């Protein structure tokens, strides 16, 4: 087990917190027991002194003291009596309190003032402490002397030591239990983190399908889901990148091979007449144009995906944008004898957007509609206005999009009918660019299509300035 692992750190933290609570608690319990034992002893001695002092009727007549020695032995204490001069008249002979000697002021004063004596006494000749408890002896309603009971604190100290020892053993027991449970708890708490650490390492090694099964809905569970999602997204990115490179190399290879082939024919003088030569030159020019368009589109898309495209927002009339777009595609429409019908609402609000980019979107969609429409058909463009947004519809009556292709039409290089699309000049990037641009302008794009009947593209933009900018 590593000492700097999260399991050990968690365990140590829990144990430290446990000790922080336990040690003050143990100290408090120890203090309580010590005070309890000492108080018990003091009360016992005071009680005895109080009762015995009442049996003495004359301080000076030492023979009248009842069972003086016997009580001392029975109670395992020592006694002495002194008169109001402070002279000890009778003593069981304890410490230096012998008969004929005088008591100190510390002992004399409280009793002489008809109070109770209760002090701890340290004898130089003994290793343990003593407790002195005294009461005044009342003769004819006056203090005639004092009775002092001297008791060793050795037994109390021993009891306290015993309690301390077993309290310590209890603490060790509690610590053992805490260590045991902390072991389980820290393992349980750190286990998801260790799983995540291992999963991220697996992802770093390239095993992107690594899945974490942590069912909790807290921050740890959320992090695990984020790691799983990260792996999945990286996997998706890797697949997309692979497909992208495969597609791009294929897309670039086709025009380059045309250009290379026909230019070699021309260089080697393998043309029979001027007409054939011009035909080959036209092909080379067309393919060069296609190559330029493809590279421009790729560059545009890359900029959009990296968010490096600059947008110039302004208030504009969507009717102007639609008219201008329709004019620009009219030549292409005329080549296929396709009619572009423009029906716009008269009362739509102004849009706060980038006019150039909006026109790019509309032109792309109309060109797409023309590309996939049969000759001598039509493309319809119309708008609908709502309270907070404007919708633009572009409808063609061409081949439509098969249901199985529908989810992929906005992906790069995805073509519904590959050979035809390439022949008609499509790069396979148009709709991907349109989708990115619409999203950048804060709008959304949808489509409905019926195979063999045509496709309807719907783009919607917010009319609110703040919404447009925020999106």
Partner 1 sequence: MKKIINVVIPLFFILMGIGCLTLSSTVFHSHNALHELFESFIGICIFLAVSVALGVLYIWVNKKKNQN
Which strand (E) or helix (H) includes residue 13? helix 6-53
Contact indicator for 381, 346 with CB cutoff of 8 Å: no
Per-residue contact flags (x/-) with partner 1 for residues 130 to 169, judged by CB under 8 A: ------------------------------------xx-x
16 binds partner 1 (CB under 8 A): no
Measure the CA–CA gap between 245 and 239, rounded to whole angstroms: 10
Measure the CA–CA gap between 29 and 35, rounded to whole angstroms: 10
Nearer to partner 1, 13 or 114 (CB): 13
Nearer to partner 1, 176 or 408 (CB): 176
Please give the angle made by the CA atoms of 174, 178 and 181, to the nearest 5 degrees.
140
At closest approach, how far in Å is the CB of 25 from partner 1? Answer: 14
Nearer to partner 1, 180 or 452 (CB): 180
Nearer to partner 1, 173 or 206 (CB): 173
Nearer to partner 1, 168 or 350 (CB): 168
SS3 333: helix
Helices 219-267 and 274-305 pack at an angle, to 10 degrees, of 160
At closest approach, how far in Å is the CB of 42 from partner 1? Answer: 22
At closest approach, how far in Å is the CB of 213 from partner 1? Answer: 12
Strand partners, 152: 130
222 binds partner 1 (CB under 8 A): no
- Pick one of 93, 221, 261, 349: the residue that binds partner 1 (CB under 8 A): 221
Considering only residues 163-192, where is the footprint of partner 1 by CB under 8 A? 166-167, 169-170, 172-181, 183-184, 187
Nearer to partner 1, 183 or 299 (CB): 183
217 binds partner 1 (CB under 8 A): yes
Per-residue contact flags (x/-) with partner 1 for residues 43 to 62, judged by CB under 8 A: --------------------
Nearer to partner 1, 27 or 408 (CB): 27
- Pick one of 39, 55, 64, 216: the residue that binds partner 1 (CB under 8 A): 216
237 binds partner 1 (CB under 8 A): no
Measure the CA–CA gap between 121 and 85, rounded to whole angstroms: 21
At closest approach, how far in Å is the CB of 218 from partner 1? Answer: 8
Q: Using H for helix, E for strand and C for coil, what is the string for 339-369?
A: EEEEECCCCCCCEEECHHHHHHHHHHHHHHH
Measure the CA–CA gap between 417 and 399, rounded to whole angstroms: 10
Measure the CA–CA gap between 140 and 148, rounded to whole angstroms: 20
At closest approach, how far in Å is the CB of 37 from partner 1? Answer: 13
How deeply is 200 buried, as exposed, middle or buried, from its count of CB atoms within 10 A (0-12, 13-18, 19+)? Answer: middle
At closest approach, how far in Å is the CB of 459 from partner 1? Answer: 40
Measure the CA–CA gap between 87 and 145, rounded to whole angstroms: 9
Measure the CA–CA gap between 288 and 100, rounded to whole angstroms: 135
DSSP code string of 42-102: HHHHHHHHHHHHTT---SS-GGGSTTHHHHHHHHT-EEEEEETTSBEEEE--BTTB-TTPB
Measure the CA–CA gap between 236 and 293, rounded to whole angstroms: 27
At closest approach, how far in Å is the CB of 162 from partner 1? Answer: 8
Nearer to partner 1, 179 or 423 (CB): 179
At closest approach, how far in Å is the CB of 348 from partner 1? Answer: 48
At closest approach, how far in Å is the CB of 187 from partner 1? Answer: 7
215 binds partner 1 (CB under 8 A): yes
Residues forming the site for partner 1 (CB under 8 A):
166-167, 169-170, 172-181, 183-184, 187, 215-217, 221
């Amino acid at each position: 087990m590593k000492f700097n692992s999260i399991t050990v750190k968690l365990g140590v933290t829990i144990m430290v917190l446990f000790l922080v609570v336990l040690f003050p608690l143990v100290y408090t319990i120890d203090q309580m027991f010590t005070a309890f034992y000492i108080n018990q002893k003091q009360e016992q001695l005071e009680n005895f002194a109080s009762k015995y002092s009442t049996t003495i009727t004359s301080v000076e007549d030492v023979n009248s003291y009842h069972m003086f020695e016997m009580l001392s032995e029975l109670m395992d204490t020592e006694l002495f009596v002194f008169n109001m001069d402070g002279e000890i008249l009778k003593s069981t002979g304890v410490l230096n309190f012998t008969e004929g000697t005088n008591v100190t002021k510390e002992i004399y004063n409280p009793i002489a003032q008809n109070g109770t004596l209760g002090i701890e006494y340290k004898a130089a000749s003994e290793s343990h402490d003593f407790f002195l408890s005294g009461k005044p002896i009342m003769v004819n309603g006056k203090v005639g002397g004092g009775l002092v009971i001297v008791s060793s604190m050795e037994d109390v100290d021993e009891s306290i030591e015993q309690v301390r020892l077993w309290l310590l053993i209890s603490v060790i027991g509690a610590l053992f239990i805490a260590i045991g449970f902390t072991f389980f708890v820290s393992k349980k708490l750190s286990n998801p983190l260790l799983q995540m650490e291992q999963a991220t390492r697996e992802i770093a090694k390239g095993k992107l399908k690594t899945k974490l099964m942590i069912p909790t809905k807290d921050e740890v569970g959320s992090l695990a889901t984020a790691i799983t999602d990260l792996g999945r997204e990286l996997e998706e990115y890797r697949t997309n990148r692979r497909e992208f490179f495969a597609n791009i190399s294929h897309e670039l290879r086709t025009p380059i091979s045309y250009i290379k082939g026909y230019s070699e024919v021309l260089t080697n003088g393998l043309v029979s007449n001027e007409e054939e030569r011009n035909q080959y030159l036209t092909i080379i020019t067309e393919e060069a144009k296609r190559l330029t368009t493809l590279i421009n589109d790729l560059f545009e898309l890359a900029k959009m995906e990296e968010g490096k495209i600059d947008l110039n927002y302004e208030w504009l009339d969507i009717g102007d944008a639609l008219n201008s777009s329709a004019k620009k595609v009219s030549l292409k429409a005329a080549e296929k004898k396709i009619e572009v019908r423009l029906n716009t609402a008269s009362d739509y609000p102004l849009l706060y957007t980038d006019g150039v980019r909006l026109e790019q979107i509309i032109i792309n969609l109309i060109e797409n509609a023309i590309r996939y429409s049969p000759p001598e058909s039509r493309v319809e463009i119309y708008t609908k206005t709502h309270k907070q947004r404007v919708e633009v519809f572009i409808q063609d009556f061409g081949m439509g999009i098969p249901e199985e292709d529908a989810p992929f039409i906005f992906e790069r290089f995805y073509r519904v009918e590959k050979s035809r699309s390439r022949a008609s000049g499509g790069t396979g990037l148009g709709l991907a660019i349109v989708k990115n641009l619409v999203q950048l302008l804060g709008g959304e794009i949808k489509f409905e299509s019926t195979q063999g009947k045509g496709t309807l593209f719907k783009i919607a933009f917010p009319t609110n300035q703040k919404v447009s900018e925020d999106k």
